[in-house]
């Protein structure tokens, strides 16, 4: 049974921490309300109230974000690969090439479907 005690302790600590931080925030946090503060997010798209019929919002946010993710992931793997290029050799080079080809596919898709047109 002893082995379960750390798990229960961890669960208890987690619950305690959640309760503590929510409670403390309501008591100690500064309360300077203004218009922006009342928004659900302080930047970006207003989720509510929605205009009649849902309204329109610019989809470019999402396209830019998706493009960012494509290149972001690319960079995350390219740097370590470049640092260890010598020891990774031909296998590493081909693997990275394959990876880049695969990453180019969604990029090509976005480009051909007009994701890059900023009207």
Partner 1 sequence: MTPSAPVAFPDIQWLQLAPIIVVLGAAAIEVLVEAFAPRTSRRSIQIGLTFAALIVAFAIIVINAGTFQLVVAGSAAVDGPALFLQGAVVLTALLVALLMMERKVDPSGDAFAARASAMPGSEDERQFTARGYLQTEIWPLFLFCTGGMMLFLSANDLLLMFIGLEIMSLPLYLLAGMARRRRLLSQEAAMKYFLLGAFSSAFFLYGAALIYGFAGTVSFGGIADAVVGQSQMSGLLLGGIVLLCVGMFFKVAAVPFHEWAPDVYQGSPTPVTAYMAAGVKVAAFGAFLRLMYVAFGGEAWEWRPAFWVVAILTFFVGAMIGLAQSDIKRMLAYSSIAHAGFLLLGVMAVTPDSLSASMFYLLTYAIATVGAFGIVMLIRDDSGETTSLDAWRGLGRTHPLLATAFTIFLLSFAGIPLTAGFIGKFTLFASSAAAGEGWLVLLAVIASAIAAFFYLRVVVIMFFSDPVGSGPSVATPSWATQTTIVVALIVTVVLGLFPQAVLNIADHADVFVR
Residues making contact with partner 1 (CB under 8 A): 2-7, 10, 53-54, 59, 83-84, 86-89, 91-92, 102, 105-106, 108-109, 111-113
CA distance 42 to 38: 8
| Radius of gyration for the alpha carbons in the chain, expressed in angstroms and rounded | 24
Nearest alpha-carbon partner for 78 in 101, 102, 100, 104: 100
Q: Of 14 and 24, which has the nearer Cβ to partner 1? A: 14
In the complex, what is the shortest distance from the CB of residue 91 to partner 1, in angstroms, rounded to a whole number? Answer: 4
CA distance 57 to 47: 10
In the complex, what is the shortest distance from the CB of residue 63 to partner 1, in angstroms, rounded to a whole number? Answer: 11
In the complex, what is the shortest distance from the CB of residue 86 to partner 1, in angstroms, rounded to a whole number? Answer: 5
Q: Of 78 and 88, which has the nearer Cβ to partner 1? A: 88
Helix or strand run (H / E) with residue 119:
none
């Amino acid at each position: 049974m002893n082995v379960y005690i750390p798990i229960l302790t961890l669960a208890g600590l987690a619950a305690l921490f959640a309760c503590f931080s929510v409670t403390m925030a309501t008591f100690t946090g500064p309360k300077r309300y203004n218009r922006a503060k009342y928004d659900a997010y302080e930047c970006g798209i207003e989720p509510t109230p929605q205009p009649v019929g849902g309204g329109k919002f610019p989809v470019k946010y999402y396209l830019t974000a998706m493009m960012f993710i494509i290149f972001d992931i690319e960079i995350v793997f390219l740097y370590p690969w470049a640092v260890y290029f010598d020891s990774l050799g031909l296998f590493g080079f081909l693997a990275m090439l394959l990876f880049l080809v695969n990453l180019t596919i969604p990029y090509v898709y976005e480009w051909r479907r007009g994701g890059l047109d900023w009207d």
